[in-house]
Amino acid sequence: MPFRCAVLDDFQNVAATSADWSALGDRVELVPFTEHFASEDELTAALAGFDCVVTLRERVPFPASVLNRLPRLKLLIASGMRNSVIDYAAARAGGVTVCGTESSSTPPVELTWALILGLARGIVQENNALREGGPWQSTVGADLHGRTLGLLGLGRIGSQVARVGLAFGMQVTAWSRHLTEERADEIGVRLALSKEELLTSSDFVSVHLALGDRTRGLLGAAELALLKPTAYLVNTSRAAIVDQDALLAALHEGRIAGAGIDVHDIEPLPAGHPMRTAPRLLATPHLGYVSRANYERYYGQAVEDIRAYLDGTPLRVLG
């Protein structure tokens, strides 16, 4: 019997063509799923007959309640080398090996700037008007040069976003709990005195922090109230860092100029979710990691992980 491998959330149906699965020969049967499973019951029913699952990012949780219902599962592969929604202890207890893949920071950096530029120059609104026979020019763009870009987080992604901002001639400031002046100087940006000082002084604020106990809800109603009415907020990190209800209220009440959001509290967003219709919002369906090169890396290394596991020498083991 072949080693059956499921690929979850293959929305574009590209998993099979993003890597050379033939390298596994006839040892593995690949089954991509192009639709998202919304409940644990749907997920476990679909995966009951699989030995291996490849899951994209952190969209599908694998708690003990799921792992315990998949007795055939032996290998779980996560894209990226960090996954907060897998219960590693439960996986070990059930004899499931968890492996990861490398992930490039370039795609989320590029998407961050796509959102910033799209917001600043009203790209979607102007494009729609042009195509639909609407007004010829209806917006006045917000300048980047000379304006302040505030970064919450100056790690692998935030530092690359900072360098692009500097290339645009922006003044770049950064803050996080453990950010040092030495690190800020290394990147060429100013260390903000506090989170509050960064929020009040920035024309664009971009979130680049990992989600954890200290960052969950970091930007709530009080923090969003500190933003200028002409400021834009961009989040390509994790939805829970920003209080979603407070953000929706700020957008509906016009207390900020707009927001660019790639991450959501529920993914995929339900049809009637308020984020789908919020004003002043440029939203994308978690595209930060979705690029051809990144997919080739994810699935190419998933093939390596499967082959190594079958050969008895697992690679990139997590947890």
Which residues are known to be catalytic?
238, 267, 286
**DSSP string covering 109-149, please?**
HHHHHHHHHHHHTTHHHHHHHHHHT--S----PPP-TTPEE
Tokens in use for 227? 């933003």
> What's at 286, amino acid-wise?
H
d(CA 195, CA 36) in angstroms, rounded, equals 37
> What's at 199, amino acid-wise?
L
> What's at 60, amino acid-wise?
V
Which of 156, 216, 204 minimizes the C-alpha distance to 183? 156
Pair 68, 89: CB distance under 8 Å: no
Q: In residues, how long is the chain?
A: 319
Positive or negative CA dihedral for 185, 190, 196, 202?
A: negative
Pair 57, 82: CB distance under 8 Å: no
Place of tokens 């476990």: 44
